[in-house]
């Protein structure tokens, strides 16, 4: 943020500062670690403290953030309270929920309780009304566009590999199969990035949700696989499967889905995860190359491990797996960020190195 922007934000904050938030001396904007987007966050020296956000209107959909925030609030889902907003400049004043993300609290002792809280909150999100005026539909075109990020940014830009016609045809077929699987599921509200870094633990061991501005109406397994096959946290495979199936029972009991056999649900879950993680490979590469956020490269080995695990087990992904092992793996092992031994194991493990 340049000096002029900071002056404008400071003046706006002083104008709209809530009466109950007393300023402690001269206003200070303390920069906080951001997310994968273009928003900048600042903690203010008020009592209680507040968070100011500079969210460039040309790069962030601020109206969606506000509409979705209000819709979640109606459902009783905890999220940062919105005190003031300037859509023209992209300024927000938000409640300060602290700094306690879910991820650093995870351990073999706490994982059961914390994931139960996360799943309870997820179920509340999925019960939110499907209002198309608030939540856009996660349609086939959007899913396909996300899939293409992999070919553009991970394969071509990061690894420098060209994709021939045969590979393009194979990728298009896989994309079509994954999109078809996604649309065969019940459609609910999807946070779209529901994982341990976007959940905050607040008072009385309650969870609050952040980074929800891209929420859509989409497949019921999307957020569940984002949570249980977290790009920053590795759970034992057996635990992932058992928690997914227990959650399936909750979905059935709540009427969100009808009766579904375990095999069908796990197929939905795994193929949805394959789509998400293929997309994430491209997104992390783009964040590193375009935006200079190179720490995301350190998270790629786990994401790749998720992809390999699925293409080895599902016939729909066999051709992709053969291509990936023949054409991509030889380049991966040359990368200084890649560890070919970072496979999905049976022990609980957390990648703490890139916490935000």
What ranges do the domains of the chain cover?
A: 3-95, 103-350
Check whether 256 has a pLDDT greater than 90: yes
DSSP classification of residue 97: -
List the one residue out of 236, 141, 241 whose CA is nearest residue 183.
Answer: 141
pLDDT at 138: 96
Query: Domain 3-95's class?
Result: alpha beta
CB 57 within 8 A of CB 88: yes
Q: What is the CA radius of gyration of the chain?
A: 21
Q: What is the mean pLDDT of the chain?
A: 93
DSSP classification of residue 94: E
CB count within 10 Å of CB 146 equals 20
Give the position of tokens 């998400």.
Answer: 276
Check whether 78 has a pLDDT greater than 70: yes
Return the CATH architecture of domain 103-350.
Alpha-Beta Complex (3.90)
pLDDT at 149: 97
CB 56 within 8 A of CB 62: no
Give the pLDDT band of residue 344 (cuts 50, 70, 90): low
Per CATH, 3-95 and 103-350 having the same topology is answered no
Burial 80-102 (b: 16+ CB within 10 A, else e): bebbbbbeebbbbbbbbbeeebb
- Strand pairing partners for 54? 40, 91
Give the pLDDT band of residue 35 (cuts 50, 70, 90): low
Tell me the three state secondary structure of residue 3.
Answer: helix
CB 115 within 8 A of CB 154: no
- What distance in Å separates the CA atoms of residue 220 and residue 131, rounded to the nearest whole number? 16
- What distance in Å separates the CA atoms of residue 181 and residue 177, rounded to the nearest whole number? 6
Per-residue pLDDT tens over the stretch 272-322: 999 999 999 999 999 999 999 999 999 999 999 999 999 999 999 999 999
Pairing of strands 40-44, 29-32: antiparallel
pLDDT at 343: 53
- What distance in Å separates the CA atoms of residue 131 and residue 92, rounded to the nearest whole number? 24
Per-residue pLDDT tens over the stretch 146-201: 999 999 999 999 999 999 999 999 999 999 999 999 999 999 999 999 999 999 99
Q: What is the mean pLDDT of residues 257-285?
A: 98
Angle between helices 111-126 and 237-254 (to 10 degrees): 40
- Provide the residue count of the chain: 356
pLDDT at 23: 87
The distance of Cα 20 from the centroid of its chain, to the nearest Å, equals 33
* 166 CB-near residues (< 8 Å, 6+ apart): none
């Amino acid at each position: 943020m340049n000096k002029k922007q900071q002056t404008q934000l400071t003046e706006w904050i002083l104008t709209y500062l809530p009466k109950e938030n007393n300023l402690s001396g001269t206003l200070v904007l303390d920069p906080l670690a951001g997310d994968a987007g273009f928003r900048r966050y600042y903690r203010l020296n008020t009592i209680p403290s507040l968070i100011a956000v500079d969210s460039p209107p040309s790069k962030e959909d601020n109206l969606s953030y506000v509409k979705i925030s209000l819709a979640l609030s109606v459902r009783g889902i905890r999220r940062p309270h919105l005190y003031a907003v300037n859509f023209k400049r992209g300024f927000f004043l938000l409640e300060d929920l602290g700094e306690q993300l879910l991820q650093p609290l995870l351990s073999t002792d706490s994982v059961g309780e914390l994931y139960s809280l996360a799943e309870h909150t997820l179920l509340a999100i999925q019960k939110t009304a499907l209002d198309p005026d608030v939540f856009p539909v996660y349609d086939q075109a959007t899913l396909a566009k996300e899939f293409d990020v992999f070919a553009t940014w991970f394969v071509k830009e990061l690894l420098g590999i060209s994709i021939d016609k045969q590979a393009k045809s194979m990728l298009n077929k896989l994309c079509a199969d994954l999109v078809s699987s996604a649309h065969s599921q019940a459609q609910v509200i999807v946070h779209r990035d529901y994982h341990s870094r976007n959940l905050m633990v607040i008072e009385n061991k309650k969870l609050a949700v952040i980074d929800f501005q891209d929420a859509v109406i989409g497949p019921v397994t999307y957020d569940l696989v984002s949570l249980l096959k977290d790009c920053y946290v590795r759970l034992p495979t057996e635990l992932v499967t058992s928690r997914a199936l227990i959650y399936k029972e909750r979905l059935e009991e709540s009427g969100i889905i009808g009766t579904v056999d375990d095999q069908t649900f796990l197929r939905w879950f795994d193929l949805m995860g394959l789509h998400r993680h293929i997309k994430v490979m491209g997104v992390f590469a783009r964040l590193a190359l375009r935006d200079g956020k190179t720490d995301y490269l350190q998270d790629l080995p786990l994401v790749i491990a998720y992809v390999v695990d699925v293409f080895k087990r599902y016939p729909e992904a066999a051709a992709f797996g053969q291509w990936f092992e023949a054409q991509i793996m030889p380049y991966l092992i040359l990368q200084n960020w890649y560890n070919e031994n970072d496979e999905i194991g049976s022990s609980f493990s957390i990648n703490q190195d890139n916490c935000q």
